Structure 1
Amino acid sequence: MTIRHEQLEAGKFFTSSFLALTGYPPMPWQARLFGTHFVSGSLPEAVSIPTGLGKTAVMAVWLIGFAWQMRNQAAPSLPRRLVYVVDRRAVVDQSTIFAEKLREALATPAANELRTALGFTEDQKLAISTLRGQFVDNREWLENPSRPAIIVGTVDMIGSRLLFEGYGVSRRMRPYHAGLLGADSLVMLDEAHLVPPFEALLATIASGPHVYGAHTKEDRKRIPEFKVLPLSATNRNSGADVFALEAQDYDDPADEGAKRTRKRLDAVKRLRIETAGTRNLPQAIAERAWEVSGEGVNDVRCLIYCDRRDDAQRAFDDLLDRLIRRAKTEMRKAKGESKEQHEVRVSVAVQERIELFVGARRVCERQQAQKRLEALGFLADSKSNLGSATYLVATSAGEVGVDLDADHLVCDLVAWERMVQRFGRVNRRGRVSADILIVAPPPEAPKTKLPDKLQIAALSDPSKPVKPKKPGKKATTEEYGAYSQAISRFNREEADYKEALKLFKDKQKRQQKAEDNYQEALAKYREDWAPTILYKERISLLERLNGDASPRALLNLLANTVADTGFAHAIQACSTAVPLRPALSRPL
């Protein structure tokens, strides 16, 4: 079989298998990722794809790639275990749901070829386990280490096991968990930009098997590889081997996958930034959400983001009050209905149209939240049947990890990578014309003034006099006289030197004190003005979008970072700082 023929066969196998697993044909970027990397097992440094273009489906790409290698290679180079790590899941884990759908689809007749390639019998199923707090590990991934498996877990649950700890794992089982997760496993880190320390930890483990793995080279050859693949819409890694969207992934006018990609890339998202001062930010956000939704009349889904939980609660209360007042004018009292009964009926009707979505939820609350979001139409591909405006007020808990979709967005100003995530939660499918309004009043300007630049005169050390040498025993009277005069001069010069040295040290101390005071004042100035400077930088960066927050506009903006290092530094300055982390050592 020639290389060209093998590529064609692999492409056909991928297309048919992907359709059987997901119910829809693959997007061109997914097919390119499979053909370029997963067929050979040579994975990129990271996958950076805009929100809404199916990053989670990389699970299916791995499964099909492993099946292809099982059928065509004696020893697959792709790991047989996929570890999908998620940092935040405020509702029931949608990654687990997607994995379970893959398992269900794998059992259908349409996926017979894929099942055969994987070596599954009729009664065998794809092992799927969820490792996260408040979920019980079903241990399917431990039953048969030779069987392909998908493990979905949080950073702490997966990370602790890799480091031979493990929450809820007995001491005897910790080496087993560490071994199975640390060998023959591909860790996909979803939204990797949220946890750069954990991403660095995984990269260190993957790149240093000679340091952290088996001691001998022969033993290391016997152990299947541990691989890492970060996934993110706002990837911090700018390396040459980052897999990203290319023109060939959406240019073909006849390809259905390219059409879907273009539609989502060009989704209309009109961006407006309101920088007028306001004393009450939550109230201003609620007012703009009320206006963009036609004062609650239009049949739209309005998403509101607040950075602080208190602000989210106050914005929620404000909108709830507006809805109640409107409902009271529209829902008149029924005959024989008391005032209390009427208010209860109004309250129930209004609460069906608004939800507050924050973190720190228990399992049952996450399940209820999922049902509420679906009823309100805020989950992707769901739709509200209320016929009027619905509202979702959220904190950062709704920025990632939840497949939200809204018609309009009103929010405050946060770090750049979080703004990109927020933009991706509106008009994901490109079906409407969305408005995005950022309410960003400037911080109060501090009164601290820039200290005058310190002018320090250069100081020179006083010269120390040299004591004259005493003449020998055979010296003449003249020589002794000259020596006596020299000693007298030396004593005077030494006294002058000591006085000059004292003055020099005093000036040195005064200059050092002035320097310390200047640096302290300068540090205070920078500290006080830091919020204002950061605010201006973030506003300036958003203004570069020229009112267009579509995925294509974001891609075009980020493309400038390759040639313009100054712009790359500007994006870095507007992003959340990468936290410090300890270096990984073998004892650790």
Structure 2
Amino acid sequence: MTTPRLRVEDFDAFYRAVHGYAPFPWQSAYVRSVAEGGQWRDLDVPTGLGKTSLIDGWVFLLAWQTAGGGPRTVPLRLFSVVDRRLIVDQAYEHARTLQRALTHAPSDSVPGRVAQALTRLGGEELPLEVVRMRGGVDWASRWLRSPAQPAVVISTVDQYGSRLLFRGYHSTPRMRPIDAALCGMDALLAIDEAHLSLPLLTTALDCAAYQRTATDPVLAGRGVQVVSLSATAATDADRPRHHITDADRAHPVAGPRLNAQRRVTALDARALAPKKPAAAFAQAAERALQALLPLIKRPVIGVVANTIHTARTTHQALAAREDLDVVLLVGRSRTTDRDLLLAGPLLRELLDGPSPERTRPLVVVATQTVEVGLDISLGGLITENASLAALIQRLGRLDRTGAHPLAPAVVIRAGDQEPDDIPVYGSAADATWQWLTHHTPALDITEQSHTTLHDHFAAGLLVNPTTLPTLLGGVDTDPLNTAAPLTPVVHRTLVDSWARTSPTPVPDQEPGPFLHGLDTSPQDVHVLWRADLTTTPDGQLDWEHWVRHMAQVPPHPAETVAVPARQLRRFLTQPTAADTTSDLEGAPEAPAVPDTKGPPAMAPVLRFDESDGTWAPATRPGDIRPGDTVVLPSHYSGHDAYGWSGAPGAPVADLGDFPPRTHTAPMRLDDRVLTLLGGFDEATAEAVESLLRSACARTADDDEEPTAIVHGLLDQLLRRLPTAQDSANAYVPALRERLNALRSVRRWGLATTSRAAGTGHVILDPDQPTRLILAPAHRATGRIEHTPGIEDDSADASSLSRPAPGAQGLPVDLDQHGKAVAARAAAFAERLGLPSPLVAVVEVSAHAHDCGKAHERFQCMLCAGDRLLAESLPAPLAKSGMDPADQAGRRRAARLANWDRSLRHEALSALLVQSWLATGPAHTRGLDHDLLVHLVASHHGYARPLMPLASDPEPTDVTATMPDQQRVTVSSAGMGVTDWEAPNRFADLNRQYGPWGLALLETLVRLADMACSEEGS
């Protein structure tokens, strides 16, 4: 099918069709510039003029170039990276809007033609995939099904940067090469407000430079491209930039935004509470608010603080007033809580614009999370003094449309600290204050009345994109901004070390300094709360009990919140200490108080050990390390409806039963979990405990049909849920929905094997008489959902049919599977525009990747341990058709077949391929034999550069049919011999194709294998 041609001039019509209004002149000019010169210039565009439209421009240019039929230079994936967690969500919604417009566009419209071009390019059903990267143990390991799929990925610095460097946080070592390939090849990295993320920008450019040293010219030119989006500061004077033009200044919409009447007043509040800056700011903000109210036309005022502690102190003071509607907005919050907050009436109104019927002001108290990308328009602004760049960003939230004759802003200095001791911004905040008060006098709040403040606010310093260049003329702005952190050099030895993902080198270089710089605090940890982690009757900790409960319902990203490691340690050792956490990733923290009494006692928690994929106790501060996932018992507190508080309070609701795919996830019916979610009073909690105890006992007796017991229990629980949603039980609607979904399951049983669709599995806890788990079968396949915390590394796991919804889990012939994977991998390579020799080597290696499964005992295992059945097979199997959730059945099959599960079938495949190549087959003439062997050996993420060593206890000859139908025989004894040529081969291939290029070639085979396995082919 021929895709209709697109013209560059069609971008305006495309943008208008998607968003309902025309692009600004600079946006159209940028698209033309990239189309003509092929260079993604940095965007030096003031806030409020739609820098997020880079996503729209990239999508259009990718489709335009594809429809043109020539060589493709526009990257296949765009990574939009920001260091504000709330803004990750808003950028995600922008991308989702674009995705929906493409999916539903009429075929004869411009968006329809764009969608056709993208669908033709990716070969998938969706023209555009949209992914949100977040932390969490079960963060989607396969965030793209196809390496050729056009995709927008919205991410934080840590999530993208760690994957680029082959050390993805919460990604298993086996998946890291795929992550690195997708992040580092055929990718456009757009860093929003890049002056806040200079280390990542520098590191990404270094990675691209190393990829360009590859001797293969095609893959050398496919490294990540980087574009900076910055409204406040240049990132590199040598990097070309794209600016606004006179056409934008004269534009009827852009012009007023550039000339918004933002009047800034400096207010000194140090005398209010010299040693308590949070309290001083809260008092000053309340007085400033009272003076601002008569001046503003739009009844929405923002109050921005530098730390979560100050924001919460201010929110508490303002929320006590009855004449205001006040909401708190912080970035460090669990996804579920954030979604509930954003769906609430106050924040929904803030994002949509104030209601005309509003009778009292709406005040949003926030941290730095509002600085970047949040499309709100405030009528007035009160902000804590900060660095120049931060103040400019905050001013960008003030009267974004330029529609009002006056938009007052108040900058408050609170706390009598030395410049270097100012939280978050240090001496830069002091220097910015000096610069500001040079242009407008600082007012002492203790000497001002509401009337005088009112007058000063109306006559403040005019600061907008038009006046700011004059105000900064001749000024050295470096002291006014936090110094760019020292970023270590990404040298060749380090790149080579990172590329070695299996086994991981010891010691290993953490990616953190290359993402945030050398002089910053440790990276975040991901924290979640569970209500079913309790102590024994005698007060002791039962770690096995905790671990078992976490294994039953593994963590998911929506229940985690990112917190600096040091701050979590402080909370667990000194829960009443002031929290100086900001919403900046990698921001320096206040120095820790010297410890003169030895290591402090710490409340015990559970942490996920990524080195071996297990849960382990953490009882000392040093046990908590950056990148960890840490589980706290709910009664520890530290989080509320607004997000991380870092302070004692009410128990935290357990959200473990609400993963993104709730319809197939297991759910705990536990009295402690349900009490927090439902906001039950003491009497209701006791009744729920009694119901659960009775249901568990009756189910265990096996005298009654489990279905009747479960349905009766669910009916009773639903009747006890409150009917109205309020702040005390905001989780009730979601809880009611889950219980109703479980009630719709027709039949429940105790068996662990596969069940028909519409049935489910009841799991009892022998140590907890008021707890059971309900696991519904998959609606399409009837399979019980298997949701392990990490990817299954066992040798037999890859040989199970993993059908997508609607597909059948049937045995798959080895030759059939090899041909299917070969065809899929070759199609991927062709869609990427790789040269024919690389397409061919990918195809051949994909065909041969599983030939080692011809081992007779492996075949016996695939036949559930039945040797007679294995011997009677007309052809070897690649997939058994067994239920992936039936781990007990898999272990039994391996035991009956005498197959050691530590053996790697791909090691045997590599031996067979090497033996085949030694015969000089015409089928591989002209192909890179080293690459072919490597792609076969690494198709499960090992052999980078060494394969895990495991000897066959009963060596035997294994004969397999190769892609040219030649029969090759080797002894399985070779599986236990280290291939000492592998490290040199791996190093040579990295030089030939580049570290990210080699990972991409592996990814083609591996994603093809995964896709075919899911489809049952």
* TM over 0.5, shorter chain: yes
Sequence identity of aligned pairs in percent?
A: 27
Deviation at 1:572, TM superposition (A): 1.1
User: In 2, are the aligned partners of 1:141 and 1:149 still within 8 Å (CA)?
Assistant: no
Q: Is the 8 A contact 1:357 1:392 kept in 2?
A: yes
The answer to whether the Cα contact below 8 Å between 1:299 and 1:387 also exists between their aligned partners in 2 is no
The residue that corresponds to 2:904 in the other structure is none
1:285 corresponds in structure 2 to: 285
Question: Is residue 539 of structure 1 aligned with residue 426 of structure 2?
Answer: no
1:278 positional shift? 2.9
Structure 1 residue 422 displacement after superposition: 0.6
Compare CA radii of gyration and give the structure with the larger one. 1
Distance 2:234 2:393 in 1: 14
* Cα RMSD after superposing both structures: 3.2
Q: Which amino acid is 1:226 matched to?
A: V
Q: Deviations over 1:468-527 (max 9, x none)?
A: xxxxxxxxxxxxxxxxxxxxxxxxxxxxxxxxxxxxxxxxxxxxxxxxxxxxxxx9xxxx
Q: Structure 2: how far apart are the matches of 1:438 and 1:84? A: 31
Identify the residue that residue 210 of structure 2 maps to in structure 1. Answer: 208
Query: What corresponds to 1:312 in structure 2?
Result: 311
Following superposition, the deviation at residue 35 of structure 1 comes to 0.7
Q: Does 1:267 align with 2:260?
A: yes
Say if 1:112 and 1:388 are closer, same or farther in 2 by CA, change over 3 A: same
Match of 1:346 in 2: none
Q: Which amino acid aligns with 2:93?
A: I
CA apart distance, 1:535: 5.7
Alignment partner of 1:127 out of 112, 122, 129: 129
- Structure 1 residues 70 and 135, CA, compared in 2 at 3 Å: closer, same or farther? farther
SS of the counterpart of 1:418?
helix
Of 348, 351, 360, which aligns to 1:379? Answer: 351
CA offset at residue 534 of structure 1?
2.7
Give, as a single letter, the amino acid of the residue that structure 1 aligns with 2:399. Answer: N
Tell me how far apart the structure 2 counterparts of residues 380 and 425 of structure 1 sit (CA, whole Å).
14
Flag structure 1 segments of 5+ consecutive residues without an equivalent.
1-8, 253-257, 327-349, 447-522, 524-528
What is aligned with 2:74? 78
1:35 matched to 2:32? The reply is yes
Instruction: Name the CA distance, whole Å, in 2 between partners of 1:266 and 1:547.
Output: 13
Query: Contact 2:191/2:201 (CA < 8 Å) preserved in 1?
Result: yes
Partners of 1:67 and 1:391 in 2: CA distance: 43
Give the C-alpha shift of residue 180 in structure 1: 1.8
Q: How does 1:73-222 map to 2 (within 5 A)?
A: 73-90=69-86, 93-107=89-103, 108-109=105-106, 110=109, 111-120=111-120, 123-134=125-136, 142-211=144-213, 214=214, 216-218=215-217, 220-221=219-220
CA distance in 1, matches of 2:92, 2:26: 23
Name the SS for the 1:573 alignment partner: helix
Higher RCO (C-alpha under 8 Å, 6+ residues apart): 1
Number of residue pairs aligned between Structure 1 and Structure 2: 454
| Structure 1 residues 524-544: Cα deviation after superposition (integer angstroms, max 9, x where no partner) | xxxxx9689636534356649
Q: Secondary structure at the match of 1:274?
A: strand
Instruction: Kindly report which structure 2 residues correspond to 1:247-262, keeping only aligned pairs within 5 A, or say none.
Output: 247-252=245-250, 258-262=251-255
Label 1:380 to 1:574 Cα distance change in 2 as closer, same or farther (>3 A). Answer: farther
Within-5 A mapping of 1:387-536: 387-432=359-404, 433-440=406-413, 443=416, 534=431
8 Å contact kept, 1:413–1:419? yes
Match of 2:587 in 1: none
CA distance in 1 between partners of 2:66 and 2:429 (Å): 57
Matched residues in 2 for 1:532 and 1:405: separation?
25
Deviates more, 1:279-288 or 1:546-555: 546-555
Q: What whole-Å deviation, never above 9, does each CA across 1:61-84 have from its counterpart, x for those lacking one?
A: 011111111122521111111111
Q: Distance in 2 between matches of 1:373 and 1:39?
A: 46
User: Separation in 1 of the partners of 2:60 and 2:429?
Assistant: 50
2:305 and 2:152 map into 1 onto residues whose CA distance is: 34
Distance 1:173 1:114 in 2: 32
How far apart, in 2, do the equivalents of 1:72 and 1:532 lie?
Answer: 51
Q: Deviations along 1:71-106, whole A, 9 cap, x unmatched? A: 225211111111111211236701111111111111
CA distance in structure 1 between the partners assigned to 2:115 and 2:35 by the alignment: 18
Aligned equivalent of 1:57? 53
Instruction: Please say if residues 198 and 235 of structure 2, whose CA atoms lie closer than 8 Å, have aligned partners that are also in contact.
Output: no
CA contact (8 A) 1:129 1:140 kept: no
User: Judging changes above 3 Å, is the alpha-carbon distance between structure 1 residues 133 and 538 closer, same or farther for their aligned structure 2 residues?
Assistant: farther
Task: Write the distance in 2 (CA, Å) between the matches of 1:173 and 1:382.
Answer: 46
Q: CA deviation at 1:55?
A: 0.7
Shift of 1:198: 1.1
Aligned-residue offset at 1:113: 2.1
Alpha-carbon deviation of 1:36? Answer: 1.1
Aligned to 1:576, which of 479, 482, 486? 482
Shift of residue 303 of structure 1? 0.7
Query: Displacement, 1:134?
Result: 4.3
Question: 1:434 and 1:251, CA in 2 relative to 1: closer, same or farther beyond 3 A?
Answer: closer
Report the Cα distance in structure 2 between the residues aligned to 1:28 and 1:231, rounded to whole angstroms: 17
Q: 1:92 to 1:441 in 2, by over 3 A?
A: closer
Contact 1:134–1:363 (CA under 8 A) maintained in structure 2: no
For residue 441 of structure 1, report the CA deviation from its aligned partner.
5.9
1:383 CA drift (Å): 4.1
TM-superposed CA distance for 1:56, in Å, is 0.7
> Aligned-pair distance for 1:281?
3.1
Alignment of 1:537-576 (within 5 A): 537-540=434-437, 543=440, 547-557=461-471, 560=473, 564=474, 567=475, 569=476, 571-576=477-482
Contact 2:269 2:413 in 1 (8 A): yes
Please give the secondary structure, in 1, of the residue aligned with 2:14.
helix
Q: Once the two structures are superposed, what CA deviation does each residue of 1:18-38 show, in whole Å capped at 9, x if it has no partner?
A: 222222211100001111124
How far apart are 1:391 and its partner, in Å? 0.8
AA in 1 matched with 2:482:
T
Contact 1:191–1:400 (CA<8 Å) still a contact in 2? yes
Flag the 1:283–1:312 CA change in 2: closer, same or farther, 3 A.
same
Aligned-pair distance for 1:131?
Answer: 1.3
Report how far residue 135 of structure 1 moved. Answer: 9.3
Instruction: Work out the CA distance in 1 between the residues paired with 2:463 and 2:127.
Output: 42
Seen in structure 2, the aligned counterparts of structure 1 residues 174 and 531 have a Cα distance that, compared at 3 Å, is: closer
Give the Cα–Cα distance (whole angstroms) in 1 for the partners of residues 284 and 263 of structure 2: 19
CA distance in 2 between partners of 1:532 and 1:85 (Å):
26
**Structure 1 residues 59 and 373, CA, compared in 2 at 3 Å: closer, same or farther?**
farther
Asked if the contact 2:387–2:432 (Cα under 8 Å) also holds between the matched residues in 1, the reply is no
Offset at 1:575? 0.5
SS in 1 for 2:169: coil
- With the length of structure 1 as denominator, give the TM-score of the two structures: 0.70
How much does 1:147 deviate? 2.5
